[in-house]
Amino acid sequence: ADIFVLPTYHEGFCVPIIEAIASGCLVISYDNSNVPMVSGGLATLVGTGDFETLILAIDQSIKKIQSKHWQEASGYLDYASVAAEHVRQFSPDLAKRRYLNFVWHLINRPTAGAFDETHVTTTQPHANANANANCGKAQADARNCMLP
């Protein structure tokens, strides 16, 4: 497959999108639930229930995969490289390390409600410039935090 379309009205974590991106498919989906976060900017997102825009997005994606740039130049190879890097953040090993780090911080915080950010690093540059700052707050986001 070259294109994966998921016009869903609600998704949890949305493993099918990760699988489609990992397979090198262009992804088209509605922009609800967890889809924007999971797709990481690699999917074409349309308003939920907007069938006309969904059809246009499918048509544009078909034209893209039929283009010489996509087939002969570096179009697909560039996408596949970025897609592979994006999917790595959801690997079981990395998820396990992030979870254990989150638990470690919960257990070892100095006082109730405090969060020691001296042990927090990120695994890679994050699209959100405040990712490191978010890790240092009491409501730490486990997906951005790692053990040193």
The predicted pLDDT at position 109 comes to 82
What's the CA gap between 80 and 57, in Å, rounded?
Answer: 19
The predicted pLDDT at position 17 comes to 96
- Could you read off the pLDDT tens digit of each residue along the chain, which spans 148 residues? 899 999 999 988 889 999 999 999 999 999 999 999 999 999 999 999 999 999 999 999 999 999 999 998 889 999 999 999 999 999 999 989 999 999 999 998 876 555 555 555 544 444 433 333 334 443 344 444 444 4
The predicted pLDDT at position 73 comes to 81
DSSP letters for 76-134: HHHHHHHHHHHHHTT-HHHHHHHHHHHHHHHHH-SSTT---GGG-B-SS--SSTTHHHH
The predicted pLDDT at position 12 comes to 86
CA atoms within 13 A on the CB side of 61: 21
Backbone angles phi, psi at 106, to 5 degrees: -65, -40
Asked whether 42 and 83 are in contact (CB, 8 A), the reply is: yes
Residue type, 142: A
Give the three-state DSSP class for 148: coil
Backbone angles phi, psi at 70, to 5 degrees: -70, -40
The predicted pLDDT at position 2 comes to 96
Asked whether 29 and 48 are in contact (CB, 8 A), the reply is: no
